[in-house]
C-alpha cells in the first residue's frame, strides 16, 4: 500500500490508494470462471497490475483482446529477455512465435517467477487467443510476427546509433502502439490513428523504461543487456557500465539528461493521439500509462539514483493519477505539472 512515512508526507494520496486497492479487489472478482481466462487475467495482474486495472474499464470483448495481446507479447519479451537461452535456440522461437500462439500444446520454460509460470502454462493463453474474433487474432498474429523478427535482429546487434535505438524501440514497443490502434479500430470504438502517432505512444513508454531500468539491465546475469545508444553515451564515458561508479556521477547525470530529452521528443505525438480518442474509457486506459511515464521521466531527470538503485514513482501518486485521470483536460494538466517539475 505504500509506506506510512510516504502517506504522512502526502495525506492527499491516502484516499486514492484505498480506492485503488478496492479497484484491484473488484477487478479480481470479475475474472471469468473458465480456467484459461482465469489464468490469463490473474497472470495479467501479476505481470502488470496497472495495465490490468485500466483495461478492466473497457467492454468485455475489447478487454479480452487486449489482455491476450499483452500476454502474448509479454511471453515473447520473456524469451528475448532471458539471457541464459543460447542464440541458436532463442532465434527460431522468436521467429516462429506467431505460429506457437495457435498451438495449445506449446510451451517453453524460461524466465523467472511469474514470467516462468506464464511460459510453462502458455497453453491457457493459446486457448483464450483462439476464442477471440478473427479480426483480433489476425492483428495479434501480425504484430507478434513482426516483433519476433525485429527482436531476432537485435539478439547479437548492439544499439549503436540513435537510429538503431529508435528501430529497436519500434520492434519492441512501437509495434505495440500500432497493434493497439488497430485493435481499437477493429472493435469499432475508435478511428484508426496514423502509424506515426501510434508508434510514438509505444516509443515514449519504452524509452522511459530503458532509462529507468539502466542498473537492472547493466547488472543482468549472465550478461548485461544494453539499450542506451552508443551515439549518446560515448560522449560521456568509455563504457556504458562506467556510469555505475561514483567517480563518474557528473557525466552519468549529463548522459541521463540527454536520454530523457530524447524520450521527450515523443510527447507532442502522444498528446495528439490521445486528444483524438472518442471513448472516455479508452482515453483513460491510454492516458494513465502515458502520464505515469511522464512522471517517471520527471523523477529520473538529473537524478543520480538512476545509477544507484530503483527509481519509482510513489504508489500514492500513481493511485492519485489513476483516480483523477478522466478527461483530456486532466491529461494536459498532468503533463504540465510533470513538465514543470522536470524544468525546475
Q: Which tens digit of pLDDT belongs to each residue from 94-105? A: 999 999 999 999
More confident residue, 13 or 108: 108
d(C-alpha 282, C-alpha 66), whole Å: 11
pLDDT at 4 over 70: no
Angle at 330 between CA 329 and CA 331, to 5 degrees: 90
Q: Sorting pLDDT into bands at 50, 70 and 90, what band is 1? A: very low
Task: Return the C-alpha cell found at 184.
Answer: 481499437
Predicted local confidence at residue 5, as pLDDT? 64
Q: Does residue 204 register a pLDDT over 50?
A: yes
Residue with grid cell 522511459, as numbered in its chain: 208
What CATH code is assigned to 184-343? 1.10.600.10
pLDDT at residue 225 above 90? no
What is the per-residue pLDDT for 57? 80
The grid cell for 248 is: 563518474
pLDDT value at residue 21: 65
Better pLDDT: 312 or 161:
161
- b/e per residue 5-35 (b: at least 16 CB within 10 A): ebbeeeeebbebbeebeebeeebeeebeeee
Q: Is pLDDT at 58 greater than 70 in this prediction?
A: yes
What nine digits make up the cell of 61? 470483448
Mean pLDDT, residues 189-200: 96
The DSSP call for residue 227 is -
Confidence grade of residue 260 (pLDDT, cut at 50, 70, 90): very high
Residue 212 phi, psi (nearest 5) = -65, -35
Query: Cell 492519485 appears where?
Result: 320
Say what the pLDDT of residue 15 is: 60
- Contact 122/107 with Cβ under 8 angstroms? yes
pLDDT tier for residue 53 given thresholds of 50, 70 and 90: confident
Res 24: pLDDT: 61
Coil, helix or strand at residue 180: helix
Instruction: Using the predicted structure, report yes or no on whether residue 86 has a pLDDT greater than 60.
Output: yes
Task: Specify whether the CB–CB gap between 118 and 47 falls below 8 A.
Answer: yes
Q: Where are the domains of the chain?
A: 33-133+140-157, 184-343
Band of residue 52 on the pLDDT scale cut at 50, 70, 90: confident
Which residues touch 93 (CB under 8 Å, ≥6 apart)? Answer: 79, 85, 100, 108
Give phi and psi for 101, each to the nearest 5.
-65, -15
Amino acid at each position: 500500500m505504500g509506506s506510512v512515512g510516504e502517506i504522512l508526507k502526502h495525506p492527499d494520496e491516502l484516499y486514492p490508494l484505498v480506492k485503488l486497492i478496492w479497484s484491484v479487489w473488484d477487478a479480481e472478482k470479475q475474472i471469468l470462471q473458465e480456467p484459461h481466462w482465469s489464468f490469463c487475467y490473474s497472470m495479467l495482474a501479476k505481470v502488470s497490475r496497472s495495465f490490468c486495472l485500466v483495461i478492466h474499464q473497457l467492454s468485455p470483448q475489447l478487454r479480452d483482446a487486449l489482455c491476450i495481446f499483452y500476454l502474448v507479447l509479454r511471453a515473447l519479451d520473456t524469451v528475448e529477455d532471458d539471457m541464459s537461452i543460447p542464440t541458436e535456440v532463442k532465434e527460431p522461437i522468436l521467429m516462429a512465435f506467431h505460429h506457437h500462439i495457435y498451438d495449445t500444446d506449446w510451451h517453453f520454460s524460461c524466465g523467472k517467477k511469474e514470467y516462468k509460470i506464464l511460459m510453462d502454462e502458455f497453453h491457457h493463453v493459446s486457448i483464450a487467443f483462439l476464442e477471440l474474433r478473427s479480426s483480433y487474432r489476425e492483428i495479434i498474429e501480425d504484430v507478434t510476427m513482426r516483433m519476433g523478427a525485429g527482436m531476432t535482429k537485435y539478439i547479437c546487434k548492439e544499439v549503436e546509433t540513435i537510429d538503431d535505438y529508435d528501430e529497436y524501440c519500434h520492434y519492441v514497443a512501437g509495434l505495440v502502439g500500432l497493434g493497439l490502434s488497430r485493435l481499437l479500430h477493429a472493435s469499432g470504438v475508435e478511428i484508426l490513428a496514423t502509424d506515426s502517432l501510434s508508434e510514438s505512444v509505444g516509443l515514449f513508454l519504452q524509452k522511459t523504461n530503458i532509462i529507468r531500468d539502466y542498473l537492472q539491465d547493466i547488472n543482468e546475469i549472465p550478461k548485461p543487456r544494453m539499450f542506451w545508444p552508443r551515439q549518446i553515451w560515448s560522449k560521456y564515458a568509455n563504457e556504458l557500465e562506467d556510469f555505475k561508479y561514483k567517480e563518474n556521477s557528473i557525466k552519468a547525470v549529463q548522459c541521463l539528461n540527454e536520454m530523457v530529452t530524447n524520450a521527450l521528443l515523443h510527447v507532442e505525438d502522444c498528446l495528439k493521439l490521445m486528444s483524438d480518442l472518442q471513448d472516455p474509457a479508452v482515453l483513460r486506459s491510454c492516458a494513465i500509462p502515458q502520464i505515469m511515464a511522464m512522471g517517471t521521466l520527471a523523477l529520473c531527470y538529473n537524478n543520480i539514483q538512476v545509477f544507484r538503485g530503483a527509481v519509482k514513482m510513489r504508489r500514492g501518486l500513481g493511485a492519485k493519477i489513476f483516480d483523477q485521470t478522466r478527461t483530456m483536460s486532466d491529461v494536459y494538466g498532468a503533463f504540465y505539472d510533470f513538465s514543470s517539475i522536470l524544468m525546475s
